[in-house]
Structure 1
Amino acid sequence: MPEHLDPSEQGALRLLSRSPHPYHHQNSELLDPSDRFDYESLDRNLPSTQPVRPGTSREITPSSDSGTEADDEHFLKGLPAPRRLRKGLRGRNEVLSGTSTPIPSPAFLEDEGRRSSYNLKKEPHLGKRPRSSAEALRRRREVIRRLTEFLIIGFLGALVRTNVHVQPIIRRWNRELYASLGVFGCLVSIYPLRLVIWAYRRRTPWRKIPILIPSSFDPAPLVYPPVIAVLVSLLLAVDNEAILVPNIILAISSLPPSLIPAVSSADQICDPLHWALSCTPLLLGEASQVLIGGGASSFSATISIETATLLYPLHRNLCSALQTLTTTSLLTAELQLLSISLIDLLLLTSSPQAVILKSMLWVGGLDILVSCTQAIQWGISLARVPKWRFKRTNTPSKPRPTFLSTIMSWRRVRHDLFHAPIDSLSCSSCEAFDDHEDSDELGSIASKGPTRAMTIPDGGDSAGADETQSVAVSSGRRVSSNSVDPKLVSTPLHRHTLPITESATRKSHTHTPSGRRKRTASNSVRAFFSLTQDQAVARKWVYAVYVYVCIAGAILLPVPFVGVRVAVMDEALHGNEPVGWALGYLFGNLPWFRWEVVSRNLERWICLPPRLFDENEYYGETGWVERLRQSYLGEANTRLALGAYFAVVIAVGLMVVFRLSPVYEVDTRRKVFHFMMVAMFLPATYVDPTFASLALSIVLALFLLLDLLRASQLPPLSKPLASFLAPYVDGRDLRGPVVISHIFLLIGCAIPLWLSLGSLPRTGTGYLEGWAVPTREVSMVSGVICVGLGDAAASLIGRRYGQRKWVWGGGKSLEGSIAFAVAVFVGLAAARLWLRIGGWPATDGNSDSWSVSAKKMGVCGATASLTEAVLTGGNDNVIVPVVLWTCVKSLGV
């Protein structure tokens, strides 16, 4: 970086020096996707190399992660990943620092950043930059898009407010809700004033109100984390009101730190003022209400006031840790929502399925990260070293010197007996005997006369230009290169020529011959240069074995607070051993299995379900599916049948994917997995929702574990996993070390089911207490419908028939959005029909007529489709299912 530039210009240059490699990022600060340069104006300031026809402009639209885009195939064909506009630029508006201006920014600062980045000169007063018609049109489109996004959020709030079950909770907790709303409104309202004051303190601006809302402004970090946290907690508070106040505190904690007036230093994660504001609901409301115990369900969790006051630092530090682990894979809003979800899972869950998920993510995850982080980092650093960088193996090609050669030089003997020249190099067999002597006599030779040196590059050596083989020649004598001083090795060997000066042939270790600075390896990578290839392979296997042993220990270790098995046994299975409980949970209704358990007296270890009852005595008022399950087939046999059904669907889906691979494009093959999720969980969720929830939790933990092994690049699973996932990755997967497509697909299908189970009462007796849900509702399968049907239909239709774009541009088409809404409507209707046919107990929504339900389902489908079309600050496989679940739950479909 030029030294003559002032700090502001150096900072502007630093903004443009982002590395596209996720493992090279060393900055631990979160990124704010709302702060970006106007790339169109940047292109206009640069000298154009291609003529632009009149009336045309280069419009750059933010990239999107939706599958409904008709023109995002370039994400799947090119490497490296495309330019990440939405992630913002390094150094601007950091979420953790809280010292820079976040969302709307001073107008002259934007212009100054553009000009100083390219012109590299200071201007005391910047004139008003003319705005082209294309830029004004693009700005109006973005304003329409953001207003639509705010309207969707407001509509969701109105739906939740009109729910008959939520209204009593709002009246009871109105002071806490109004306090959080007041904090949010005050911070947002005073932010423009802070910008104006900051602008005038820096420099006299070119207009009275120097505030510019960039066209790429993204309200997602400001809106989605706090709003979704509060709305979802209001719907879940029907079963347990203790969940509301902690989520209100987390909603305030998730506000962008740039909205908070800076009190702490830039390197502090937690801001004291932000911490105090997060505790406002506790101060204004009745603090004793936080300690509410019990709700509509016996599985209700509570937290203390002391824990509630510590939610802010827990949330901030968890966001920092998650950002370090995922690097650039997740956006800011996604990190905030993920942190809130993990904290809720840790503190506010008590049902057996949620406790098992908590044990796998928190106990097993933390154990693996603490014990394996260093080994995984070493494995990644070792994998980044190319093979030619390793030290060559010492394989002597010449015969070893004998005892006689150490006493007398063979060359001298030949000279004395046969009068052969002593400097003859023709006899290759003689060189082996003389190398040792020549190396011993290097000091005396160097002192007898002028020395010439020759530098010979060692082709393929690991050190590149830094390591060479040298041969020093003095008075015609050849000297071994192992003992030559590098300072003496300077000039090439040319007979009958004058010596060349040292400065003329010196090679720079830091710059290339053209003057460009060489890329230097980090210290963590350079530490492995001294290893040979065999040693590096052995080191990789040592790291891999250590990681696998730690993973096995984290799962099976019988130590409290360390092993997942002990945590699950104590908190979810009422003290029963997990392996024996799982055997009875799956095979307990098989006659031969029950006989073996009873005959071998294993009932204390393997929990057997009760015997099958007569249908007239057991569950006589439930539907025919439940009677068939309880009285004829058995609960355990039903789970075995569902497991076999899942295996068959997966096998058929993989066969279809492999057959389509040579013919169809990547996105079409990926949608097969979406339809697989629909085929598996749409009919099976109502049959046994707790078993489906447990299966999704285990598969999620398995996906995270496998992706950790893939990213660690440790043998033997890393390369096969990477090869299997390579044909199905997209642009988001190339942004960081985490392949998030399949993980977000699973999370989008599972979150609505987990939320619905958290708002329904539980039943069950004995060792299966809490493992039965007497009622069903359509919201359980809203995630499967949204991700499996809506997103897949929108992508397939939009790519082939999408001609009309939305008014704000981008890749979303009206045809794709209509297909999304229709698919969601059809999926909700099919789910409601299956709920009626199965005969499960009706909820409030099931009592509506089909005409009323059709109107509600149409509203839900349109809202989800519009959210998917307008969303840019988060992954639509996660945000849109939560929005659809909120609509379905609020309207009582």
Structure 2
Amino acid sequence: MPEHLHTSGQNALRLFSRSPHPYHRPSSQLLDPSSHLYGSLDNHHNARLAAHGASREVTPSSDSGTEADDEHFLRGLPAPRRLHKGLRGRNEVVSGASTPLPSPAILEEEGQRLPLNPTREAHSGPKLRGPDTLRRRKEIIRRVIELLVVGFLGLTVHDNIRAQLMIRRRHRELCVCGGVYAVLVLLYPLRLVMWAYWHRTPTRKIAVSIPVSFDTAPLLYPPAITMLVSLLLAVDNEAVFLPNIILTICSLPPSLVPTITLDDGGCDPLHWALSCTPLLVDTGSRQPIFGRADLGGGESSRTNISLETTMLLYPLHHSLCSVLRTLTTTSLLTAELQLLSISLINLMLFSSSPQAIILNSLLWVGGLDILVSCSQVINWGISLARVPKWRFKRTPGSLKATSALFSAALPWKKKERGLRYTPADGSPGRACAPIDDLQQSDDLEITTLGGSGNINASGTRDAATTKTLKSSQRHTLLGVTKAPPKSYTHTPSGRRRRTTPDSVRVFFSLTQKQAAARKWSYALYVYTCVAGAVLLPIPFIGVKRAIMDEALHGREPIGWALGYLLGDLQWFRWEVVSRNLEGWICLPSRPVEPGYLRGTGWVDHLRRLYLGEANTRLALSGYFLSIIVTGLIVVFQLSQIYEVDTRRKVFHFMMVAMFLPATYIDPAFAALALSGALAFFLLLDLLRASQLPPVSKPLASFLAPYVDGRDLRGPVVISHIFLLIGCAIPLWLSLGSIPRTGVGCLEGWDVPTREVGMVSGVICVGLGDAAASLIGRRYGRRKWLWGGGKSLEGSIAFACAVFLGLAVARVWLHIGGWPPSNGVSDAPVAAAPKMGVCAVTASLTEAVLTGGNDNVIVPVALWICLKSLGI
């Protein structure tokens, strides 16, 4: 049997073992013809396609709401309060470890889909049974619909920006990118055939076919979303076009690009060269700049970044993906890693608005500070938390006290101890040696002790009291004198022992008190580093300093925040002026002329002239806090009545109640609140995963009842993070495509226009996903053609909820009197057909999506559709 087929069979059988492996899953990347040559474990299933023409690559599950949040996975989950069970990695196994991550299920859905006899299937060749053929045809239909949805989004974007592309002559770079993509995709089947020809065997024929289950998400979504979003933003900000075209090529799967290098961890030279091909036809200005491009559509947005920076985007993207993959293990799929890396790079290159700079400082500066200063200490804390308490060294005092207590309470213990210890040489008065020491002597025999018999080192024994081993007697003590050597690598049954890694074994010499003191010292160090990175104004590496210099124009962040929230209160302004604190606390100015607000709508008149901008933000903060408290009370009240999925949807409705009415009132403040919440959630999840006291266990206990199957695939609990990101990304993208206003210390902190796309994420995640899950679970009877947990009723409910949310947002935009960003003020009734098209497109995207998180990809697809159709 070929090596890669043998390894594939072992991996398949390993899923059915008793040991849980939450971090093990097949790769969702494309098939790599040379995967077995480089020893890639992720592509062993894919290599079978090229060699035998049939592959059963498992499609990763999604977090779809119509799948009722992985209901088939939740059925196999253990009790959520079993927090003593340790995480067992694929190559590192520990026992009895303490971890705040909920215990995984023993059998994953991948193992349920694998064949019971993988070896037989590997030799079966390209012949498929009837059900497999039907399943493959349904999967092809599903992927064709997915491709058509993405193609429809591309057509709408092209119709929107066709004139701008022709005027600015940016279509050449776009054609080069599309040509590279098409050539690599068309050459891939030919490479498979060539690889199968060179690695064929005399007894097998060459046969290449489409696998029964496959996923095109790594090939489709990272390039398509990157290109479409960059094209829409390039209409107002030309600087984002060329770097994102290069990142589109960088996001192609590595197996799609032919390579001759044997280095798995380094950059591919050919892929790097292909990513630089758009630079050969670049007709724009190549003058380097040393600042960032303005996402607000300012004058500096017409200048490109330097040529050297664009050429180094591929190694930056490659290295960032490696770091993110190490940090998240298997929590994120391949397409999600690519999109996350591209988003972080765009944030670093093109953030100049205050909100974007603050988010950039929190993620890049703060993240790098914690990664450099705390990574090793966090690893020590995790290793220490994996050590069970019985493994720690016991103190001598506790041993003596325990021995004396047992001797007084149980006198028969002394007799048993006397039986287990015999004189080393048979003479009285000598120190007694345990039976284990006597077992090492070669001249002793296997005997049975009874009565007053004795055994000495020379092998003599009393014939009246010695019996052979064959006469089995109960309640006798066996003296094993010549036993086979003990194996430290295998159990007595022949099974290989689980070895404790060195990173955990080094803590066995500690006592429990020493381990607790060391764990608290690790926690104190991490908390100190986090506080120092955020609060200390350290140049170049401090978050506070970065925000002060780049976002607030040299103003101190704490004083600026006080003026930003409390600047309209009369007593606060009087205290600041009377104590001469204007240099530290920046007070916002008030408009005194009604003409200043002409054409802004009655809501802005009320907010600026009567209530005050700072008071409005203060009122919104109280409103957000009240919604959060009310939602938590409702969740706790429903915990004993309704199931987990229903309680999870309460958080979705909380996002709708908070941001659907408040986003139009002050979009910049809503974006800032979402940025701060995202950084706070990431920090809390870092503390939970690091298993450091005192916050890790309470956080894990709170999150345990609300996790789903995707949360158990890696160390990161991604449900609440992706929920927040899905609501925030459309708002951040919309703010990046419209100009900024503001005077004085609030320059860049307001926008003159609004658009429906700002709340598309809240509508899609809060209303659409929740409606699809609730309706699909209870009334879903008709499944989609390709099967799975998604139903037609759930998809229809998704589309109806999204359409209703868009209609409410459009009515609120019309009633509030805010001018639309596209300059065309259509009535809500006239925009209804376009909103229906957008709702159906989002529903289809959610129905066919498998290789990515629908809480992120579907809101972006809805934003693209809304922006392209001019809603």
TM-score bracket, normalised by the shorter chain, equals: 0.7 to 0.9
Deviations 1:150-190 (A, max 9, x none): 10110010010111576436862111101111111111111
Write the distance in 1 (CA, Å) between the matches of 2:563 and 2:694.
34
1:212 correspondence with 2:209: yes
Write out per-residue CA displacement over residues 606-629 of structure 1, whole angstroms, 9 at most, x where no aligned residue. 000013524x24213221100111
Residue 248 (1) aligns with residue 226 (2): no
1:15 aligned to 2:17? no
Task: Give 1:343's aligned residue.
Answer: 345
In structure 1, distance between residues paired with 2:57 and 2:779? 23
8 Å CA contact 1:569, 1:578 repeated in 2: yes
**Equivalent position of 2:755 in the other structure:** 777
State the partner residue of 1:552: 531
Contact kept, 8 Å, 2:321 with 2:338, in 1: the verdict is yes
Distance 1:341 1:644 in 2: 31
> Is the CA contact (8 Å cut-off) linking 2:138 and 2:786 kept in structure 1?
yes
Tell me how far apart the structure 2 counterparts of residues 589 and 623 of structure 1 sit (CA, whole Å). 21
Do the aligned partners of 2:8 and 2:44 also contact (CA within 8 Å) in 1?
no
Say yes or no: does 1:835 pair with 2:831. Answer: no
Show the counterpart of 2:373. 371
SS of the residue aligned with 1:255? coil
Alpha-carbon separation, structure 2, partners of 1:188 and 1:33: 11
- On the 8 A contact 1:782/1:884 being kept in 2, the answer is yes
CA distances 1:644-684 after superposition (whole Å, capped 9, x unpaired): 00011111111111111101010100000000000000000
- Out of 169, 173, 176, the position equivalent to 1:176 is 173
- C-alpha distance in structure 2 between counterparts of 1:559 and 1:254, whole Å: 35
1:159–1:891 CA contact under 8 A, matched in 2? yes
2:571 matched to which residue of 1? Answer: 592
Which amino acid in the other structure matches residue 547 of structure 2?
V
8 Å Cα contact 1:802/1:815 also seen in 2: yes
> 2 CA distance for matches of 1:36 and 1:483?
51
Relative to 1, partners in 2 of residues 1:206 and 1:190: Cα closer, same or farther, differing over 3 Å? farther
Please give the per-residue CA displacement for 1:351-410, whole angstroms capped at 9, x wherever unaligned: 1100000000000011001111111111111111111111112116669xxxxxxxxxxx
Q: Provide the C-alpha distance between the structure 2 equivalents of 1:872 and 1:798, rounded to a whole number of angstroms.
A: 17
Distance 1:840 1:724 in 2: 41
Instruction: Assess if the C-alpha contact under 8 Å between 1:30 and 1:323 holds in 2.
Output: no
CA distance 1:128–1:723, shift in 2 (3 Å): closer
Q: In 2, are the aligned partners of 1:70 and 1:813 still within 8 Å (CA)? A: no
The aligned residue for residue 431 of structure 2 is 479
**Is the counterpart of residue 574 in structure 1 residue 553 in structure 2?**
yes
- Aligned partner of 1:522 among 501, 504, 512: 501
Question: Quick check: 1:377–1:712 contact (8 Å CA) kept in 2?
Answer: yes
SS in 1 for 2:498: coil
2:382–2:690 CA contact under 8 A, matched in 1: yes
State the partner residue of 1:444. none
Matched residue type, 1:11? T
Structure 1 pair 810/127, CA: closer, same or farther in 2 (3 Å)?
closer
Q: CA deviation at 1:558?
A: 1.8
Q: How does 1:232-311 map to 2 (within 5 A)?
A: 232-286=229-283, 288-289=285-286, 296-298=297-299, 300=301, 302-311=304-313
Q: Secondary structure at the match of 1:847?
A: coil
Q: Is the 8 A contact 1:9 1:116 kept in 2?
A: no
Note if contact 1:33-1:332 (Cα within 8 Å) is conserved in structure 2.
no
| Structure 2 CA distance for aligned equivalents of residues 506 and 864 of structure 1 | 66
**2:334 counterpart residue number:** 332
1:201 positional shift: 0.6
Q: Secondary structure at the match of 2:715?
A: coil
Cα distance, 1:389–1:611 mapped onto 2, change above 3 Å: same
Matched, 1:637 2:615: yes
Higher mean alpha-carbon deviation, 521-530 vs 164-173, is at: 164-173
Q: CA 1:179–1:503 in structure 2 vs 1: closer, same or farther (change >3 Å)?
A: farther
Distance 1:369 1:455 in 2: 58
Of stretches 595-604 and 500-509 in structure 1, the one that deviates more from structure 2 is 500-509
Amino acid aligned to 1:296: G
Find the structure with the greater CA-based Rg: 1
After TM superposition, the score normalised by the length of structure 1 is: 0.81
2:73 alignment partner in structure 1: 75
CA–CA distance in structure 1, aligned partners of residues 57 and 271 of structure 2: 39
Distance 1:633 1:115 in 2: 69
**Shift in CA distance, 492/814, structure 1 to aligned 2, threshold 3 Å:** farther
In 2, Cα distance between the equivalents of 1:470 and 1:179? 86
**One-letter amino acid of the structure 2 residue matched with residue 369 of structure 1:** L
Equivalent AA in structure 1 for residue 285 of structure 2: S
1:730 is aligned with what amino acid?
A: D
CA contact (8 A) 1:686 1:776 kept: yes
Cα separation, 2, equivalents of 1:210 and 1:170:
49
**d(CA) in 1 for partners of 2:10, 2:183:** 34
Q: Which residue of 1 aligns with 2:661?
A: 683
| Map of 2:718 onto structure 1 | 740
CA contact (8 A) 1:138 1:215 kept: yes
Distance, in Å, in 2 between the alignment partners of 1:184 and 1:802 is 39
Q: For residues 837 and 287 of structure 2, what CA distance do their matches in structure 1 show? A: 35
Shift in Å, 1:254: 0.6
Q: SS at 2:830's partner residue?
A: helix
Q: Unaligned stretches of 5+ in structure 1?
A: 42-57, 83-88, 92-112, 400-424, 433-452, 457-468
**Shift of residue 705, structure 1, vs aligned partner:** 0.1
Aligned pair in 2 of structure 1 residues 794, 166: CA closer, same or farther (>3 Å)?
A: farther
User: 1:749 maps to what in 2?
Assistant: 727
Q: Which secondary structure state, in structure 2, belongs to the residue aligned with residue 664 of structure 1?
A: coil
Tell me the alpha carbon deviations over residues 697-748 of structure 1, each in whole angstroms, 9 at most, x when there is no partner. 0000000000000000100000000011011000000110000000000000
* Cα separation, 2, equivalents of 1:765 and 1:707: 37
- Using the alignment, how far apart are the partners of 2:724 and 2:833 within structure 1? 29
The alpha-carbon deviation at position 512 of structure 1 amounts to: 1.8
Number of residues of Structure 1 aligned to a counterpart in Structure 2: 782
Q: CA deviation at 1:574?
A: 0.5
How far apart are residue 800 of structure 1 and its match? 0.6
Residues 22 and 327, structure 1, Cα contact 8 Å, conserved in 2: no
Q: Residues of 1 paired with 2:769 and 2:697: CA distance?
A: 30
Shift, 1:511, TM fit: 1.8
Cross-structure match for 1:86: none
Counterparts of 1:702-851 in structure 2 under 5 Å? 702-844=680-822, 846-851=824-829
2:311 partner amino acid: T
Partner of 2:464: none
What letter matches 1:344 in structure 2? Answer: N
Q: Choose which of 687, 693, 703 in structure 1 pairs with 2:671.
A: 693
Query: CA 1:472 to 1:367, structure 2 compared with 1: closer, same or farther past 3 Å?
Result: farther
Aligned to 1:563: 542
Post-superposition shift, 1:303?
A: 1.8
For the 8 Å contact 2:783–2:791, the answer to whether it is kept is yes
Residues 577, 209 of structure 1: alpha-carbon distance in 2 compared, 3 angstrom cutoff: same
CA apart distance, 1:13: 4.4
Query: Percent of aligned positions with the same letter in both sequences?
Result: 65
**Bigger shift: 295-304 or 833-842?**
295-304
After superposition, the Cα gap between the structure-2 partners of 1:481 and 1:117, relative to the gap in structure 1 and judged at 3 Å, is farther
Q: Deviations over 1:64-96 (max 9, x none)?
A: 3212125842433433699xxxxxx999xxxxx
Q: Distance in 1 between the 2:423 and 2:330 partners?
A: 49
Name the stretch that deviates more: 301-310 or 841-850.
841-850
Q: What amino acid maps onto 2:626 in structure 1?
A: V
Match of 2:98 in 1: none
Equivalent of 2:387 in 381, 385, 388: 385
